[in-house]
Amino acid sequence: MPISPSTLLHVLSLAAVSLSSIPAQAQSANTFKYVGLSGVSAQQLFLGTMNKVYIVDKTENNNATVNGHPAWATEYDLTTNTFRTMDVLSNSFCAGGTVLGNGTWLNVGGNQAITYGGVSMPTAQQSGQSPYKDWDGGKAIRLIDPCDDESCEWVDDPTMYMTSRRWYPTLETLEDGSAMIMGGCEWGGYVNYADNQNNPTVEYFPSKGQPFTLNFLLKTMPVNLFPLIWLLPSGNMLVQAEFQAEIFDYKNNIEYPINDIPDCVRVYPASAGTAVFPMTPENNWTATIIFCGGTFLEADQWTTTWAINTYPANQSCVKISPDVDLTWYHEDSLDTGRSMGNFINLPDGRLFYVNGAHLGTAGYGTEDWTIGQSYADQPLYQSWYFDPKAASGSKWSKAAVSPIPRMYHSVASLLPDGSVIVSGSNPNADYVSKELNTTYTYFTQYQVEIFYPDYWDKPKPNPTGMPSQITYGGDPFDIHLTLSDLANNTMNINATRAVIIRTGFSTHTMNMGQRHVELETSFTTQDDGGAVLHVAQMEPNPAILVPGPALFFIVVNGVPSNASWITVGDGTIGQQTIKAKSVLPRSQISAQLMAQYGGSYSRSGSYVVAGQSDCRRRSVLDIGQMIGLVVMGLGLIGFLI
Between 18 and 631, the more confident residue is: 631
Q: What is the pLDDT of residue 415?
A: 98
Q: What percent of the chain has pLDDT over 90?
A: 86
Between 480 and 599, the more confident residue is: 480
In what helix (H) or strand (E) does residue 629 lie, and over which residues does it extend?
helix 623-640
Report whether pLDDT(2) > 70. Answer: no
> Of the given ranges (352-361, 490-499, 609-618), which has the lowest mean pLDDT?
609-618
Kindly state the average pLDDT of the residues 286-309.
97
Confidence of residue 616 (pLDDT cuts 50, 70, 90): very low
The closest of 271, 413, 416, 424 to 345, measured between CA atoms, is 413
Confidence of residue 590 (pLDDT cuts 50, 70, 90): confident
Report whether pLDDT(599) > 70. Answer: no
Confidence of residue 5 (pLDDT cuts 50, 70, 90): very low
Q: Taking all residues of the chain, what is their mean pLDDT, rounded to a whole number?
A: 90
Report whether pLDDT(589) > 50. Answer: yes
Report whether pLDDT(551) > 50. Answer: yes
**What is the tens place of the pLDDT at every residue in 411-469?**
999 999 999 999 999 999 999 999 989 999 999 999 999 999 999 999 999 999 999 99
User: What is the dihedral sign for C-alpha 610, 612, 613, 619?
Assistant: negative
How many other CB atoms are there within 10 angstroms of residue 600's CB atom?
6
Confidence of residue 34 (pLDDT cuts 50, 70, 90): very high
Kindly state the average pLDDT of the residues 608-624.
38
Confidence of residue 195 (pLDDT cuts 50, 70, 90): confident
Q: What share of the chain is helix, strand, coil (3-state, %, to 5)?
A: 10, 35, 55
The Cα 585–Cα 320 span in angstroms is: 34
Kindly state the average pLDDT of the residues 372-400.
98
Asked if 433 and 443 touch (Cβ cutoff 8 Å), the reply is yes
**What is the tens place of the pLDDT at every residue in 153-162?**
999 999 999 9
Q: What angle do CA 51, 57, 60 make, to 5 degrees?
A: 140
**What is the tens place of the pLDDT at every residue in 77-108?**
999 999 999 999 999 999 999 999 999 999 99
End-to-end alpha carbon distance in the chain: 25
Confidence of residue 16 (pLDDT cuts 50, 70, 90): very low
